[in-house]
Structure 1
Amino acid sequence: MVGGEILLRMADSNPSAGGLRLAGWLFFAVAYICGGYFGLLASIDSLKARKIDIDLLMVLAAIGAASVGAPFEGALLLFLFSLSNVLQDYALNRTRSAIHSLARLRPDTAVLLDSEESNQGRVVQASEVEPGMLVQVKPGHRVPLDGVVIRGSSTVDQSSITGESMPVTKQAGDDALAGTINQEGEFVVRVTKRSGESTIAKVIELVENAREQQAHTERFLERFEQYYAIGVIAATIAAGTIPSLLFGADWGPTVYRAITLMVAASPCALIISTPASILSAIGNGARRGILFKGGVHVEQAAGIQAIAFDKTGTLTEGRPVVQEVVAMGDLGTNDIVAAAAALESRSEHVIARAVLEYAEQNQVAWSQPDDFKSRSGLGVQGSVNGQQLLLGSPSMLQENKENVTDFTSVQAEIERLEQEIKTVIVLARANGSQWQVLGLITLIDRLRQGVPAMVKQLRQAGIKHVVMLTGDNRTAARAIANEAGIDEVFPELLPEHKLDAVRRIEEKFGPTAMIGDGVNDAPALAGARLGIAMGAAGTDVALETADIVLLSDDITRIPYLIALSRATRRTLITNISIALGLIALMITGIYLIDLPLPLAVIGHEGGTVLVSLNGIRLLLFKHKTGNFHLS
């Protein structure tokens, strides 16, 4: 390109040196072929599809420049256009590499054991392992497939899947996720899912699909590009012919100015402004266990004005813990716990696990019950150390209150405890036909750590209204909401009524997100403007139903999600403003100060690179408490 310009200038100063002119044009021909080859192929493909794209505009502008004696400007245009495409592809590949890195988390091999007693296994392909088989996970190795730990214990780094910053202890009975890293000990996992069905496999599939689902802005600009490109060609033809035909202007300068107009008005920066930003946001979220199932959901999250939380398992831990033991008979609190644990040791109920955990934590030993019976909906009954005991809900007293010793005072104490938002279970002993209440055990479903701070951060991020949906009674629900700092409560809801509640919130406050555990909240998650499933690692329903999936139970991911989406929206607005501003500035310059073609080329390609780089800044987005920023 430069050589061709030098040779043509030398030929102009020496008219008899025809060979220099020919050599100069040959140099430019090589520059045109090198700079425009791929653009020409893309232009031909778009014409075959009956479309007009930016590649065609650039090729036409370069040919037009050569036709009016400005081959250097045309070659410069093709060179910078190709260079900007390379930089643009690099920028987008940076965003895709953040997504593709997920695929490298999935191990290709596994150490297969023949039996639970085996200590030495054989290495096989992970794809060959079937559910029910046993795999050995050694220190420093990744868990090859989803499963349940049956032997051994260790701490596991789950940050690559769930985004949790701290290692998680794994022991017999705990779930293990493929792709997580075993840190210290050695354990054996019974596989529950094939390699292609694991959580990490579904995450990779969802993120890959998300790349194909365009955001609203991106779809609009893609449709807009066709009409805009046709308009640019029409404007170029008009600008190149009307001044000469109607006003007698010289053809050379007029066509040159028209070609400059075509370059300046081409929407390269405008079209690339959206995918660079959206893909960067998707990649940033994926690295932190936040899965956007499409670019459209990134934009939707940015416009959310209200958030509705399911209570159990989302705002609360989702499992009861014993808080208090109240003695009401001749037994001490430890004896009450020992008797309750003995009865619950035969039960699989969630309350039974809470009682047994409490006994273990307080080093209370228990014996095995005789004549054990489970009374559905009421509790459990059995003989412990020769005494016939009953452990269950207060409703069992109501059914036999005439046979309960001192029923009135017992019922008053139960009502007092329930007003304190506690679940109460009763331990009673049979005395002939009478039942004597020995003690009451209260349980609570504790609020997750950090919920009040999370609600405060949501307001700082611009959320106007925070709501809690629950099946609890109004008094209990209001107490939890007050502790969390939540604005409004919809109590006593069945799962199928939660969607109606979300719609009522949306009518009053605008676009509303529903956040739940992805199982009993599936209708509300699917029907809300934006459905967000939390703690969904290994939960197929959540991965299928929600628009956005949080793989961990870390509730601080929710303000991060909102802040990331709003930062993406700001970046989109900035990019589109830059692109349109440069086009308007250059067109104005063409007709006010005769902006030359080389400067239009630099402005056009420079703007394209600028918006691409601005978009990939979202890969570096970080969140600090109360402060959402790009670094």
Structure 2
Amino acid sequence: MFFAKHKKESVVLMTALLIIAYIGRFTNLIWLFDVSMIAIAIIGGLPLVFRAVRALKFKIISIELLVSIAVISALAIGEYSEAGIVVWLFSVGDLLEEITLKKTRKSIQDLVDMAPKTALKIESPSDRSFEEVDIDEIEKGDYLLVKTGSQIPVDGQVVAGNGHVDQASITGESKPSHKEIGSSVFAGTILSSGTLVVQAEKVGEDTTFGRLIELVEEAQDSQTKTQRFIDRFSQYYTPLVLLLSIIVGLITKDLRLAITILVLGCPGALVIGVPISTVAGIGSAAKRGMIAKGSAALDELTKIDTFVFDKTGTLTTGQPSVGKVVNVNGDQNENLKILASIEHESNHPLAKAILDYWQKDDVYPVSDSQIIDGRGIQAVVNQHSVLVGNERLLNEAGIETTTDQLSKTSSHVLLAVDHELRLVLEVSDQLRPGAKAALDNLRKIKDYRLILLSGDNQAAAENMVADLNFNEVRGDLLPVDKAAAIKQLQSDGHQVAFVGDGINDSPALSVADLGIAMGSGTEAAIDVADIILVNSSPAQLPIAVRHAQKTMHNMYENIAIALLTVLLLFIGLFTGYIYMASGMLVHELSILIVILNGMRLIRRN
């Protein structure tokens, strides 16, 4: 539409006409003053009328309708100055809203602009003869050369070289991360030193960077319950003001007073205040490496009283290693080969630990592989029936698993072949750095109830988090058990957030009042979660809570400012201290105040 495209130019023209009008007034050229004010009313009033009519087609009585009726009525009774000033002030406020929303969305545009456009494709990890290709031409498995100062174009794994990568655009970390062979890298990050060869695993919109942009854009268009309430409030409020104006006009016979009620009753600050806080809050959270899938997620985070955690990959690094190996029956090498063959089919963190321990490509073909939820895998390997998993899996199959040679405080992977226990591995993981400090900081914010739900045996789970002072630790749980535990907490009146990272965490993430996923987690967990901690650090949790509190507090501040302004304007109007032009000035100043207040969320970054 012409007016929407030239909003800035219209405001500039109206401002020039306003200056001319007052020059005419001070030089006693009243006709110049009147003509300029009428011109302002027409230039700024036409787009308002069009917007009001368009809203009426959808049976919506908009704020623009109030202003349009007020301006037309003012022109009809010869109050040209009132009509012109009201339109000019409303147009200036409208332009300010547009500029502010663009500014608050700038953090997302910055991410979009940072998206890699081309890549240096090579034929093998040792090749240095590259071809520069468009990013859309890259496929999974391709080898890409990344030089110092260049963007990493895909999500992938380093297969040659080493260097330091600035991952601030993805994780929010200011300190460069060292990368070497085997390290994972993200698209959109910058190689600040060194040279890398990266094998592509995810490209284009499927990369972490691409999904991050998509999630934040969707989130900024979402609404909290508060915002939906404001929208409904506006639908009822507008006709109420119209009715009040008509009643006052009929009783007092004062048309000017009735028109002034229409003008001053516009809840502009109320309508703009909530979206400003929403967009600014989500945008600034994204720059800190916390992706909220909508302002409703931030709203819910402020209401949580119980945090429930998964252990592996959430509180721990998710990079376990094999410790003690106990060969119970048969040849140990043969048993390890069978075990490695099974784990070669899995992407579980324990599988990687076992394959790293085996360190051979010599494996058997596997058939009839089936995952037993929360327990392990059953399959046929080299014509033998094989079970790999925890004690529960083997016990349910009637296989004795008792062994005095293993620590009761460690996680175990057991191998059974043809219904006979063959091998037991002791697997250990490490807590993520800063996990204890993160939970301590959470407790400083609020007396949260902290619970650990783990699939590991009870003793191993308790031993791993002994220093974290959980209110409750529960082990030996299946995914459905975790979801059931959360439902029980909810039925007891608790608002529950679940923090996890794996496919097996999806049921718990779904049933919790708020799902929080680690950025390094599986796609299933990230898709289900409401908030994603891109850096996969528990230290981001207390930061996220404080940010959510600031965002919602800012939103409520804006609502209070808007409603108080309308109340004071009506009091001033009926007591004779406020008139149409002065009231509209106060109204537009309130819009400016809520805009500036919302933008504080960006400056806090």
TM over 0.5: yes
Offset of 1:482 from its aligned partner? Answer: 3.5
Equivalence for 1:281 = 281
**Counterpart position of 2:79:** 70
TM-fit CA distance, 1:540? 2.2
CA drift of 1:131 comes to 1.7
| Residue 263 of structure 2: aligned partner | 263
Deviation of 1:2 (Å) = 4.9
Q: 1:372 to 1:53 in 2, by over 3 A?
A: closer
Q: Does 1:233 align with 2:242?
A: yes
1:494-509 to structure 2, matched below 5 A, reads 494-509=478-493
2:504 to 511, 520, 524: 520
Q: Is the 8 A contact 1:269 1:608 kept in 2?
A: yes
Contact 1:127–1:196 (8 Å) recurs in 2 = no
SS in structure 2 opposite 1:112? strand
Which of 580, 602, 605 is residue 588 of structure 2 equivalent to?
Answer: 605
Q: Distance in 1 between matches of 2:503 and 2:352?
A: 21
Note if contact 2:306-2:497 (Cα within 8 Å) is conserved in structure 1: yes
2:471 corresponds in structure 1 to 487
Q: Distance in 1 between matches of 2:454 and 2:90?
A: 57
Matched, 1:555 2:543: no
Q: Which amino acid aligns with 1:593?
A: G
- Superimposed CA distance per residue, residues 105-142 of structure 1 (whole angstroms, 9 cap, x where no aligned partner): 21111111133332121111111112222211111100
- 1:72–1:494 Cα change, 3 Å: same
**Quick one: distance in 1 between partners of 2:442 and 2:58?**
47
Shift of 1:176: 2.1
Does the C-alpha gap of structure 1 residues 88 and 476 become closer, same or farther in structure 2, counting only changes over 3 Å?
A: same
Show the 5 A alignment for 1:441-520.
444-462=428-446, 464-520=448-504
2:417 corresponds to: none
CA contact (8 A) 1:518 1:536 kept: no
**Residue identity opposite 1:299 in structure 2:** D
Paired residues of 2:166 and 2:191 also in contact (CA < 8 A): yes
1:531 and 2:548 matched: no
Aligned equivalents of 1:370 and 1:23: distance in 2?
A: 93
Secondary structure of 1:185 counterpart:
strand
Structure 1 position 614, deviation (Å): 0.8
How far is 1:36 from its partner? 2.6
Q: C-alpha distance in 2, partners of 1:70/1:370?
A: 91
Alignment of 1:212-611 (within 5 A): 212-244=221-253, 254-321=254-321, 347=340, 414=405, 417-418=407-408, 421-423=409-411, 444-462=428-446, 464-536=448-520, 539-611=522-594
Tell me the amino acid that sits aligned with residue 25 of structure 1.
Answer: D
Q: Tell me which amino acid in the other structure corresponds to 1:298.
A: L
Question: How far off is 1:578 after superposition?
Answer: 0.8
More displaced 10-residue stretch of structure 1: 582-591 or 527-536: 527-536
Q: Over alpha carbons, which structure has the higher Rg?
A: 1
Instruction: Tell me if structure 1 keeps the 8 A contact 2:454–2:476.
Output: yes
Conserved 8 A contact 2:340-2:354: no
Question: Gaps (5+ residues) in structure 2?
Answer: 1-17, 327-331, 344-348, 370-375, 378-387, 396-401, 415-421
Could you tell me which residue of structure 2 aligns to residue 16 of structure 1? none
Distance 1:476 1:192, change over 3 A: closer
> SS of 1:478's equivalent?
helix
Q: Which residue does 1:30 correspond to in 2?
A: 39
Q: After the TM superposition, which segments of 4 or more aligned residues of structure 1 sit over 4 Å from their partners?
A: 5-11, 321-326, 342-358, 366-374, 392-395, 423-426, 440-443
* Structure 1 pair 24–318 and aligned structure 2 pair: CA distance change class (3 A): closer
Quote the residue 1:363 is aligned against.
none
State the 1:322 CA deviation: 6.7
Kept after mapping to 1: 8 A contact 2:38/2:80: no
Cα 1:321–1:57 change in 2 (3 A) is same
Q: State, as a whole percentage, how many aligned pairs show the same letter.
A: 33
The residue matched to 1:203 in structure 2 has which SS?
Answer: helix
Q: Quote how far apart the aligned CAs of 1:268 are.
A: 0.6
Q: Is the 8 A contact 1:471 1:491 kept in 2?
A: yes
The alpha carbon displacement at 1:171 in A equals 2.2
- Secondary structure of 1:151's counterpart equals strand
- CA deviations on 1:415-457 (whole Å, 9 max, x unpaired) are 6x42xx235799xxxxxxxx9x9xx996532222222211121
TM-aligned CA distance change 1:135 to 1:30, over 3 Å: same
Cα deviations across residues 240-260 of structure 1 (Å, max 9, x unaligned)? Answer: 22123xxxxxxxxx2222222
Contact 2:442 2:542 in 1 (8 A): yes
The answer to whether 1:173 aligns with 2:182 is yes
Query: C-alpha offsets along residues 75-111 of structure 1, whole Å, 9 cap, x if unaligned?
Result: 1111111111111112111111111211122111111
For residues 352 and 308 of structure 1, the distance between their equivalents in structure 2, rounded to whole angstroms, comes to 25
Query: Helix, strand or coil: the match of 2:145?
Result: strand
In the alignment, is the contact (CA less than 8 A) between 1:490 and 1:501 conserved in 2?
A: no
Say yes or no: does 1:47 pair with 2:56. Answer: yes
For 1:521, the aligned partner's letter is D
**One-letter amino acid matched to 2:509:** L
Letter of the 1:422 counterpart: S
The CA deviation string for residues 443-478 of structure 1, in whole angstroms up to 9 with x for no partner, is 532222222211121122225211111122333333
User: How do 1:129-208 residues align onto structure 2 when only pairs under 5 Å count?
Assistant: 129-208=138-217
For 1:63 and 1:98, the matched residues in 2 are separated by 40
Question: What is the aligned partner in structure 2 of residue 56 from structure 1?
Answer: 65
Question: What TM-score, normalized by structure 1, do the two folds share?
Answer: 0.78
Following superposition, the deviation at residue 271 of structure 1 comes to: 0.9
Structure 1 letter corresponding to 2:558: N
What is the SS of the residue equivalent to 1:200? helix
State the secondary structure of the residue aligned to 2:314: helix
Task: State the 1:195 CA deviation.
Answer: 1.8
Gaps of 5+ in 1: 12-19, 245-253, 327-338, 359-365, 379-391, 400-407, 427-434, 623-631
Cα deviation, residue 4, structure 1: 3.4
SS in 2 for 1:468: strand
Match of 1:120 among 129, 149, 165: 129
Of residues 572-581 and 483-492 in structure 1, the stretch that sits farther from structure 2 once superposed is 483-492
Q: Give 1:143 shift.
A: 0.7
Contact 1:345-1:352 at 8 Å conserved across structures = no
In 1, Cα distance between the equivalents of 2:318 and 2:58?
A: 55
> Which residue does the alignment assign to 1:621?
604
Deviates more, 1:66-75 or 1:283-292: 66-75
Q: Is the Cα contact below 8 Å between 1:344 and 1:356 reproduced in 2?
A: no
Correspondence for 2:329? none
Aligned length: 543
Task: Give CA deviations for 1:554-611 in whole Å, capped at 9, x if unaligned.
Answer: 2111111111111111111111111111111111111123412222111111111111
Counterpart Cα distance in 2 of 1:585 and 1:371: 79
Q: 1:594 to 1:138 in 2, by over 3 A?
A: same
Checking the alignment, whether the CA contact within 8 Å between 1:306 and 1:509 is kept in structure 2 is: no
Q: Normalised by the size of structure 2, how large is the TM-score?
A: 0.81
Tell me how far 1:40 sits from its aligned partner: 2.8
Deviation at 1:63, TM superposition (A): 2.6
**Structure 2 residue aligned with 1:4:** 21
- For the structure 1 residues 265 and 344, does the alpha-carbon distance in structure 2 shift closer, same or farther, using more than 3 Å as the test? same
1:387 aligned partner:
none
CA shift, 1:345, in A, is 13
Please tell me whether the aligned partners of residues 277 and 616 of structure 1 are also in contact (alpha carbons under 8 angstroms). Answer: yes
What CA deviation, in whole Å up to 9, does each residue of 1:182-224 have, x standing for no partner? 1211121222233232221111112122222222111221122
Verify the 8 A CA contact 1:536 1:542 in the aligned structure 2: no
CA offset at residue 234 of structure 1?
1.0
Shift of 1:494: 0.3
8 A Cα contact 2:167 2:190, kept in partner: yes
Q: Distance in 1 between matches of 2:316 and 2:431?
A: 4
Partner of 1:404: none
Q: For residue 487 of structure 1, what is the amino acid of its counterpart?
A: N
SS at match of 1:313: coil
1:96 aligns with 2:105: yes
**Structure 1 pair 540–238 and aligned structure 2 pair: CA distance change class (3 A):** same
Whether the 8 Å contact between 1:106 and 1:200 is mirrored in structure 2 is yes
